[in-house]
Amino acid sequence: MKIGYLSTIYHTSFILKSGKFSFESSDETNWKLFPTGPEMMKALESEDIDLGYIGLPPVIIGIEQGMKIKCVAGGHIEGTVVISNEPYSSYSELGDIASVLNQYNGKTIGTPTRGSIHDVIIRNLLKNRDISIKNYTWADFIPDAIQDGEIEAGVGTPSLATVASNQFNSKIVIPPNKIWPYNPSYGIVVQEELISNSPEYITSFLKAHEDASNLIQNVPNTAAEIAANEMGVVDKKFVRETYNISPRYCAKVPDEYIKSTMEFIPVLKELGYMNHDLKVGDIFNLRFIEETHKEDAHY
């Protein structure tokens, strides 16, 4: 099996790659790293990977364009933040998103690739504003761009906020729970062929995925140490700081997750990223996660 993953340290991919929780054929799994969700979508389209960790807006776009894929589980919600540095004020200081964004009139904000969840969220927020958006192929370039004065603020994952705070005196100006409540920062997406041909693999993988999600939520120090060792370029403290920025992990797909996902569709249409509506069943196949996660969601 071939699994696509991102460099996002709080995804369960790093814990599963470490071998902490085994799943069917885990020893034979080929893990492939991608810079952004839209890049991973190309690999799903060409069938270079069977399963991926990905934010759902690129998935919605791909399905509308005819791709035979489904989201079979959640993983994390509210994984988009806006960071900046002095002299800009934060949401906690100004009290609302509009006041925060007004500071950047006539300036530029950086975000990952067009069509990524972060790109879609910030473009929606910046409608009818005199603020430019610059897209980056790797989110890792954004902190340097802020320091160099190329952009005034950056949008990305909690990992981006941790990198920036360690690199220079940055701060979160819009926190993840304010920017788009319950947004599906990532889910587990599979080829429909995998659903037909290897349902036992999906069930086995989702059990390990939920175990890893619980480890992050309930024993974060252990999870952080495993993830840091697996990534190899960050330490346990970095991972813990990232976990704390948006500590909402679970494999379940509750109604709130679905509702938030579907709310992206009119935004994607307005932005010109898709043309037609989709139904819940076009995006989700929840039979596997309902079988493996019978209790309520615990985001």
Predicted confidence (pLDDT) per residue in 53-104, tens digit: 999 999 999 999 999 999 999 999 999 999 999 899 999 999 999 999 999 9
Distance, CA of 159 to CA of 136 (rounded, Å) = 15
Phi, psi of 56 (to 5 degrees): -80, -25
Residue at 201 is within a domain: yes
Distance, CA of 132 to CA of 142 (rounded, Å) = 15
Q: Domain range for residue 127?
A: 81-179
Residue at 210 is within a domain: yes
Residue at 222 is within a domain: yes
Domain identity same for 129 and 271: no
Residue at 221 is within a domain: yes
**What is the DSSP secondary structure assignment for residue 274, as one 8-state letter?**
-
Q: Where are the alpha helices (DSSP H) in the chain?
A: 13-17, 37-45, 56-64, 91-94, 97-102, 117-125, 141-147, 158-167, 176-179, 192-197, 199-218, 220-231, 236-245, 255-262, 264-270, 280-283, 287-292
Q: Give the per-residue pLDDT at 138.
A: 86
Domain identity same for 54 and 112: no
Domain identity same for 95 and 229: no
Residue in 90, 93, 95, 125 with CA at minimum distance from that of residue 109? 125
Domain identity same for 217 and 247: yes
Domain identity same for 191 and 238: yes
**What is the DSSP secondary structure assignment for residue 266, as one 8-state letter?**
H
Domain identity same for 230 and 285: yes
Residue at 297 is within a domain: no
Looking at the structure of the chain, the number of domains it has is: 2
Domain identity same for 12 and 68: yes
pLDDT digits (tens, 9 = 90+) for 148-172: 999 999 999 999 999 999 999 899 9
The whole-number average pLDDT for the span 227-243 is: 96
Phi, psi of 58 (to 5 degrees): -60, -35
Phi, psi of 108 (to 5 degrees): -125, 140
If pLDDT is split at 50, 70 and 90, which confidence band does 140 have? confident
Distance, CA of 109 to CA of 132 (rounded, Å) = 6
Domain identity same for 73 and 100: no
Domain identity same for 74 and 190: yes
Residue with tokens 């969601």: 297
The pTM of the full predicted model, rounded to 2 decimals, is 0.94
CATH number at residue 51: 3.40.190.10
Distance, CA of 14 to CA of 152 (rounded, Å) = 31
Residue at 63 is within a domain: yes
Q: Last residue of a domain, which of 164, 179, 194?
A: 179
Domain identity same for 137 and 282: no
Q: Are 155 and 75 in contact (CB under 8 A)?
A: no
Residue at 130 is within a domain: yes
Q: Give the per-residue pLDDT at 139.
A: 86
Residue in 149, 164, 155, 151 with CA at minimum distance from that of residue 107? 151
Domain identity same for 129 and 188: no
Residue at 39 is within a domain: yes
Q: Last residue of a domain, which of 145, 179, 213?
A: 179
Q: What percent of the chain has pLDDT over 70?
A: 100
> What is the average pLDDT value for the chain, to the nearest integer?
96
Residue in 159, 179, 167 with CA at minimum distance from that of residue 245? 159
Residue in 56, 62, 60, 52 with CA at minimum distance from that of residue 80? 56
Bridge-based pairing state of the strands 81-85 and 153-156: antiparallel
For residue 230, the number of C-alpha atoms closer than 13 Å in the C-beta half-sphere is 22
* Alpha carbon 138 to its chain's center: 14
If pLDDT is split at 50, 70 and 90, which confidence band does 112 have? very high
Cis amide bond preceding 35, omega within 30: no
pLDDT digits (tens, 9 = 90+) for 177-192: 999 999 999 999 999 9
The whole-number average pLDDT for the span 46-56 is: 97
Q: Last residue of a domain, which of 127, 155, 179?
A: 179
Domain identity same for 103 and 70: no
